[in-house]
Amino acid sequence: MGADLENLVNEAAILAARRNKRSIGMSELSEAVERVIGGPERRSRIISAKEKEIIAYHEAGHALVRRMLPKCDPVHKISIVSRGMALGYTMSLPENDRVLVSRTKFEHDLSAMLGGRVAEQLNFKDVTNGAGDDLDKVTKLARAMVMQYGMSPTMGPMVFGQRHEMIFLGREIGEQRNYSEQVAREIDKEVNRIVTEAYDRATDILTRHKELLDTISQKLIEVETLDAEEFEAFFAGVPGAPPRKQAPPEGSSSAPNRAPEGGRPSGAPSPQPSPA
């Protein structure tokens, strides 16, 4: 944790020095956060016009679904500039520190994670291997909802499988199956149902807002990145878009449950690493 912060500030200092600045500003700090989470930008990567269009639609799909579902965290940044391993990414920013997550929020998050794949399908009538990482996360989350969180009405409030973890390494080393073949099939069916419903929800949103998907994708092709404010501008007067709270001014502490000391200071963002 302390080492993470040291690394973060060091990255910010390097960026400030490169920009011939005498001190670290907010822009260096946020770029450092993005570098630490997602790796360095790779502007030299060569991408064809067709691929750039696919990447733009994929990211616009994530962002638009995320914006239309009330339980999703707000979009912090959309980019079609490669960073680390990813060709593009959509970052979100939790509005408050959360410990407990509802089934509804998980369902909305699944739809947002599938938004990229759905946008590819709707616009190109074809899909790419690029969504593999999104689908991996979707499948793992849906499976955890059924097997670990008791969130499937048909499977009931039970835990399936005894997970063997090496606690001190925080790593899973395998799963002991403690349920029948029959139950294994029911679990698979439930995981599939949850993912399918999330996919259908994303398809519904992107079909109803296809023109907006086109507009945002074209804008991304043109400018390559959109920040929260630029993205939000597309939604003024759009019916069906849940209202977005105005971000509190820098340094103000409006969150009631924030730890007074030792926690993240208010105003310091904690962007999610997910490229989804």
Active site residues: 59
Is residue 116 part of the contact set for Zn ion (CB under 5 A)?
yes
Is residue 206 part of the contact set for ligand NHX (CB under 6 A)?
no
Binders of ligand NHX among 214-273, rule CB under 6 A? none
For 213, residues 6+ apart whose C-beta sits below 8 A from its C-beta are 57, 60, 61, 64, 119, 122, 123, 206
Q: Which amino acid is at 65?
A: V
- Measured from each CB, the residue nearest to ligand NHX is 130
Q: What is the DSSP letter of 78?
A: E
115 within 8 A of 209, measured Cβ to Cβ: no
- Cβ at position 251, least distance to ligand NHX in Å: 32
Binding test (CB under 6 A) with ligand NHX, winner from 11, 31, 53, 59: 59
The SS3 assignment for 162 reads strand
Binders of Zn ion among 118-147, rule CB under 5 A? 134
89 interface partner picked from ligand NHX, Zn ion, none, CB below 5 to 8 A per type = ligand NHX
Binding test (CB under 6 A) with ligand NHX, winner from 42, 105, 130, 215: 130
Contact window for ligand NHX (CB under 6 A) among 88-96, 147-155, 158-166, 209-217: 88-96
The Cα 238–Cα 244 span in angstroms is 12
Is residue 87 part of the contact set for ligand NHX (CB under 6 A)?
yes
Is residue 131 part of the contact set for ligand NHX (CB under 6 A)?
yes
The Cα 140–Cα 142 span in angstroms is 6
- Cβ at position 73, least distance to ligand NHX in Å: 15
Is residue 77 part of the contact set for ligand NHX (CB under 6 A)?
no
* Total residues interacting with Zn ion, rule: CB under 5 A: 3
Q: Is 242 left (phi over 0), alpha (psi -120 to 50) or beta?
A: beta
Among candidate residues 122, 31, 118, the one with its CA nearest the CA of residue 77: 31
The residue whose two tokens read 């490169």 is 18
Contacts to Zn ion by CB under 5 A: 116, 134, 276
